[in-house]
Amino acid sequence: MSPIHTHGPLLRKRMREGVPVIGTFLKTTCPQTVEVLARSGLDFVVLDAEHAPYDIAGLDGALLAAHALGLPALVRIPDHRPSFINSCLDMGAHGVMVPHTRSAADVELVADAARYARRKRGFSPSTRAGNYGQIDSCEYRGRADANNIICCQIEDSEAMERLEEIAANNSVDCLFIGPADLGLSLGYDGPNDPRLGDAIRTIAEVGRRHGRTVGLFVSSVDIVPDMIAIGITLFVCGSDQSILLSGAKGVAQIMANIPT
């Protein structure tokens, strides 16, 4: 059985059950970073093709490592192009994170590209996701539809206006809040503006009412318990780069503090 069918379903199942899960963004585009983080205990990683220089070959190498090691890996796509979504899922991504989802029509476009049952996604069984043809085609399509995760980012004022219609769309697995873009789009001053907190609570309430997992980007784990208390259960904390930098700064600081 292909690894996607053993690890992907587990993540989606845990999300649906409301079990808190945490991952990080990957911005360093080499497979070795995935290989190292597969040993970290993180629940998943998100390969950031929106804000890092991933090309298709970079994604393929990272997804190969994720598959081989059983680490669920989503791809944050740069835009909503169906061909890119299809490629990511063919290469074995466990799902896509969709930046700037502004309407139910946006969700529909992504779902058409991601779900075989809608009869618009291009089909090939000879992919990593299809276990290189070593699985019955019908069974593969059924499992892919059942297991792939669609995380829609809520990070625009238009998305706030259309939150109910986005959250009501059954193709959405997770409403993922992007606080930086959301604050910018709403015209707020910065991450500590209390109105941003209100917007996050609104998204959590609407998402939970429609039975969606609600996710949030956090730069540190300190606020995770408070966010779990309002129904947010999926977290992406920082990135490989921020984790590397904070570890290295800690090492440098220890040396700087030793009296000479």
- Count of residues in contact with Mg ion, rule CB under 5 A: 3
Our finding on whether 178 is near ligand 3PY (CB under 6 A) is yes
Q: Residue from 56, 138, 146, 180 that binds ligand 3PY (CB under 6 A)?
A: 180
Q: Which residues, 6 or more positions from 260, have their beta carbon under 8 angstroms from its beta carbon?
A: none
Q: Are 26 and 7 in contact (CB under 8 A)?
A: no
Our finding on whether 158 is near Mg ion (CB under 5 A) is no
Q: Are 223 and 217 in contact (CB under 8 A)?
A: no
Closer residue to Mg ion (CB): 185 or 233: 185
Which runs of consecutive H residues, i.e. helices, occur in 74-169?
Answer: 82-90, 104-114, 137-147, 157-161, 163-168
The DSSP H or E segment spanning 23 is strand 21-26
Our finding on whether 181 is near ligand 3PY (CB under 6 A) is yes
- Chain positions 225 to 254 lying near ligand 3PY, rule: CB under 6 A, are none
Residue span binding ligand 3PY (CB under 6 A) among the ranges 29-37, 137-145, 165-173, 179-187: 179-187
Q: Which residues, 6 or more positions from 33, have their beta carbon under 8 angstroms from its beta carbon?
A: 26, 62, 240
Our finding on whether 179 is near ligand 3PY (CB under 6 A) is yes
Q: Give the integer Cα–Cα distance in Å for 166 and 194.
A: 24
Residue span binding ligand 3PY (CB under 6 A) among the ranges 63-71, 88-96, 175-183, 199-207: 175-183
| Residue 223 Cβ vs ligand 3PY, minimum distance, rounded to whole Å | 14
Closer residue to ligand 3PY (CB): 8 or 179: 179
- Chain positions 134 to 153 lying near ligand 3PY, rule: CB under 6 A, are 153
C-alpha pair distances (Å), 172 with each of 16, 40, 114, 143, 178: 11, 28, 11, 17, 16
Closer residue to Mg ion (CB): 8 or 178: 178
Q: Indicate the residue whose CB is closest to ligand 3PY.
A: 178
Our finding on whether 217 is near ligand 3PY (CB under 6 A) is yes
| Residue 104 Cβ vs Mg ion, minimum distance, rounded to whole Å | 20
Report the amino acid identity of residue 155: E
Closer residue to ligand 3PY (CB): 90 or 155: 155
> For residue 177, what are the β-bridge partners?
154, 216
Q: Are 71 and 64 in contact (CB under 8 A)?
A: no
**Any idea what DSSP says for residue 125?**
S
Q: Which of the listed partners (Mg ion, ligand 3PY, none) does 179 bind, with a CB threshold of 5 to 8 Å by partner kind?
A: ligand 3PY
Which residues contact ligand 3PY by CB under 6 A?
153, 155, 178-181, 217
Contacts to Mg ion by CB under 5 A: 155, 178, 181
